[in-house]
Homo-oligomer: A and B are copies of this chain.
Amino acid sequence: MISEDDLIARFFAPIAGQGSLALRDDAALLAIGPDEELVVTTDALAAGVHFLPDDPPDSIARKALRVNLSDLAAKGAKPTGFLLSLALQKEWCEDWLRQFAYALGEDARCFSCPLLGGDTIRSPDALFISITALGTVPRGKMVRREGARAGDRIYVSGTIGDAAAGLMLRKNAWDRPLEPHARDFLIARYLHPQPRLALAPALRAHASAAMDMSDGLIGDLAKMLRVSGASARIEVPRIPFSEAARAIVAADPELRDHLLTGGDDYEIVCTVPPQESVRFEAAAKKAMIDVTAIGVVEMGSDPPCFLNRDGTRKDFARGSFSHF
């Protein structure tokens, strides 16, 4: 088995060019004139891997666009537009496509990220979607993965693990009682990630590093620290859970690790120098995005250290979602 990062490092980094940031970030960066840079990112989704084949077409459309917008948000970028590659199965029907396109159009308007172009082909089997999103940042202001420095505070936006819990519910892999509104909330968090574009200006102004979490907090945070050449101390009890996620963990405490390592959060993890943290929190509040400090960046190249409430060390059996 090989991780996606190893696969990229071995096969694709050697052929990457200027602007690719050695394929170690979520986006490419191109100079476009004296004041601005172009941020370009691409994310692909396949039926049965990133969504369930019977997920509603409007949810699939929104997720496909939003996971890309989430990358732009984490890089501090403002969306310009997107291109869509869509491989439709033989059995596609107009009703499905109408709902898909309508929802995509709604999200494009809502997030000010218009459809610019694309390619629609027939898929030999599964539905496949690839979106490339473009955005801009003021020159030199893209927030990288690699900027975390010892002493920086580590923040996450929103709450963690809701989507992993929602997927579990969606698959009927949970047989204990749960309030209907908690169930609906968690499934909605799985189906409809919220790109934190409103946080982009605060990240540009105050963060030293940032990325969006697609493969689980524990693994994604470790990735960001690895490319930054840093370690960290994380206080696990500080990691924010929603009320609904807390209800799940209360009923089955063993699921806590699953929520921390499961994917599809599409929240932002970032590091902020201590002297900027008050201003960052104020800017996030103004943008109406909850952010929570969960730990501190430390020197060294050890994997991040996770601490329980009693100060003992916590290990995770499985770092993050892996495709390979």
Interface residues of A (CB under 8 A from B): 2, 4, 7-8, 11-12, 14-21, 23, 27-28, 30, 32-34, 36, 38, 40-50, 80-81, 83-88, 94, 97-98, 100-102, 104-105, 108, 114-126, 128, 130, 132, 134, 323-324
List 25 interface pairs A-B (beta carbons < 8 Å), by A numbering.
A7-B120, A8-B120, A11-B101, A15-B102, A15-B104, A15-B108, A15-B115, A16-B115, A17-B115, A19-B116, A23-B117, A32-B36, A33-B36, A42-B84, A42-B132, A43-B85, A44-B85, A45-B121, A46-B87, A46-B128, A49-B121, A49-B122, A50-B121, A122-B324, A130-B130
A40-B120 in contact (CB<8A): no
Q: Are A323 and B33 in contact (CB under 8 A)?
A: no
Q: In whole angstroms, how far apart are the Cα atoms of A23 and B114 in the complex?
A: 12
Most chain B CB neighbours (cut-off 10 Å) among A15, A42, A117, A130: A117
Which of B41, B45, B116, B122 is A20 in contact with, Cβ under 8 Å? B116
Q: A152 CB to closest chain B CB, in angstroms?
A: 25
Smallest CB gap from A107: residue in B? B15
With a CB–CB cut-off of 8 A, which chain B residues contact A36? 32-33
Give the CA-CA distance A121 to B114 in the complex, in Å.
25
